[in-house]
Chains A and B, each alone.
Chain A
Amino acid sequence: MPASTKTRKILLVVFMATAVAMLAFADVRKGEYAPSQLGSLQQSTTPELTPDANFAASAYPVPALDLAPGDGVQEVRIYCNTCHSPRYVTMQPPLPAATWEAEVNKMNKTFGANIPVEDSRKIIAYLQEHYSTGARH
């Protein structure tokens, strides 16, 4: 019967589309981080493991971090933290003021951070004041 064939065809297409979608979006849990009070000091525990297909690791610890207090620190904590923790700032050696400006511009243009101009200006000024050559102690 033509109607039944058509229904079957539609069902087949729906089924195949679902299968393809399942292939494309494998069940992955990611980007789980947890604040860590003791950070580098506390031992982690082994999570409970079960013999199913789910292979899991615990959340990745994010120890508390002191940023130099000052104007712009809030903007750094909010905008920069979208993609990476501010440890990316404190890890750097003292950098020339122009390098910090170039870094923030790179985040905005190349990496699409798109931070409002006024806030970008504050972030650059903060990094230059606290983390540039001669300023850091």
Chain B
Amino acid sequence: MTIREISRRALLNRMGLASVAIGVGAWPEIFPALGQGQDHEKPIESFTGPGPNPHWNSIGPYISEPQKAPLILLTDRPVQLETPREYFQTVFTPNDAFYVRWHLSGIPNAVDLKTWRLQIEGNVNRPVALSLAELVRNFKSVSVAATNQCSGNSRSRLQPRVPGAQWGNGAMGNAMWTGVPLRELLDMAGVREGSLEVQFQGLETGPGPNGYPSNLFLKSLELSNNVIDECVVAYLMNGEPLPMLNGFPVRLVVPGYFATYWIKCLTWVRVLSAADDNFWMKTGYRIPDTPRGNTTPEEMKSGNIKTLPIGRFPVRSFIVSPGGDSKLIPGAPVSLRGIAFSGYGRIVRVEISDDDGRTWSSTALGEDYGPYSFRTWSSSWTPKSAGRYSLAVRATDSKNNGQLDQPIWNPGGYLWNRVERQEFIAGEAS
């Protein structure tokens, strides 16, 4: 055997392709510094459960969808895609990596702006129809940095598991949204006295019969809700037009609220004089009226649990990197980085613990882009010796909302916000 041949085989061995064909015993003498690679590639499992999904993200394959980077596929028709963990290293999530969640299969592939109009209608004095050009030119634009998080983000953690999109942690993103304040559009149309709610409808439709939730996706907000004054009809996302899958040409931005209200391809803004009793308000997207929306299957069955439409998202924080896929070196400081956000107020503190929550140390917060934005955090941490470590992270917002270590459960799989952990392994360095 020539050196060259052995070298090639050693390389193959490390790649896991030739472990059977080679006498492993021979090569450590020639390449004493090379370690053993894994002897075969392990694909990720095809499903998780009945235990919780142990991975940070969901487990689907990557898929290339129009106008998007390869993202993790949950479903293809209608489209649901999750953002891989590495995209959360920055405070703003790139448009092409931003997660996607539709309810019905009739998703726009093309919108002709010659005929498309945003319509403000219903219980108003002067119905209004505006082209995209009019929205851009006739109104002073506003920008807001806001986190968009799916109500079911992290649903795959719940025990017992609940049906629905089995998201890991990547059904969230943060963007700078630019557009027209919803209030200006409502004022232009003139909301009539006695109006109660405003309903939002996009271009999304499904093949279900008329009047069924499989035909239209409709969401409403009460006109008395202060968030109406913070809503933006956005035509730019991080300074660029929205990808079709994220709601081109305009999307409703409801800062601090779960994404179910952020209607994509928003086309009808309808003022209602009665409460919206369509499925997506009255039955879907409801949470138990309990602390943290927490309950049990037994309590739900008892029928004694009152429910409410989902609203603001609770405070959350994540360790983004390192991701636990590399061993650490004892004595060498590691740069820990992550994000935190809350629907109730700006993030004021992010802390980490390496002793299972007995003691917590504060981290350095990144730039403040406003109360609804992601806030990045960073910290240096050093594993003292070889061994296994578990790092926990928790955040606190300006209203003093924090995170608890206890899991929650509700039948929709909503509001998950327990303390997140990342396992690390430090290897012996000599």
Contacts and interface: CB of A to CB of B under 8 A. Distances in A.
Contacts of A93: 47-50, 53, 156, 161, 166
A112 B209 contact: yes
Given A53-B112, A92-B163, A110 B65 contact: no
B163 A57 contact: no
Given A84-B77, A136-B47, A57 B109 contact: yes
Tell me the dominant secondary structure on chain A's binding face.
Answer: loop
Contacts, number: 177
A69 interface: no
A4 interface: no
Interface residues of B, number: 64
A71 to B, nearest CB: 21
A49 to B, nearest CB: 11
Given A40-B63, A42-B64, A84 B165 contact: no
Given A60-B107, A110-B283, A85 B76 contact: yes
A46 B382 CA distance: 45
Nearest to B283: A110
Interface string A62-101: 1100000000000000000011110110111111000100
Interface residues of A, number: 49
Interface stretch (B25-33, B241-249, B333-341): B241-249
Contacts of B63: 39-40, 61, 63
Contacts of B78: 84
Interface stretch (A9-17, A29-37, A117-125): A29-37
B47 A94 contact: yes
Contacts of A99: 163
Given A27-B115, A91-B75, A111-B212, A60 B109 contact: yes
Interface stretch (B14-22, B183-191, B200-208, B313-321): B200-208
B49 to A, nearest CB: 3
A18 interface: no
Given A83-B208, A133-B50, A91 B165 contact: yes
* Closest 5 A/B residue pairs (Cβ): A93-B49, A27-B112, A56-B110, A112-B212, A40-B61
Interface of B: 46-50, 53, 60-67, 70, 73-79, 104-117, 119, 129, 156, 161, 163, 165-166, 203-209, 211-215, 241, 243-245, 248-249, 267, 279, 283
11 contacts: A30-B205, A40-B64, A55-B113, A57-B108, A60-B107, A61-B76, A83-B214, A85-B77, A92-B166, A93-B49, A94-B49
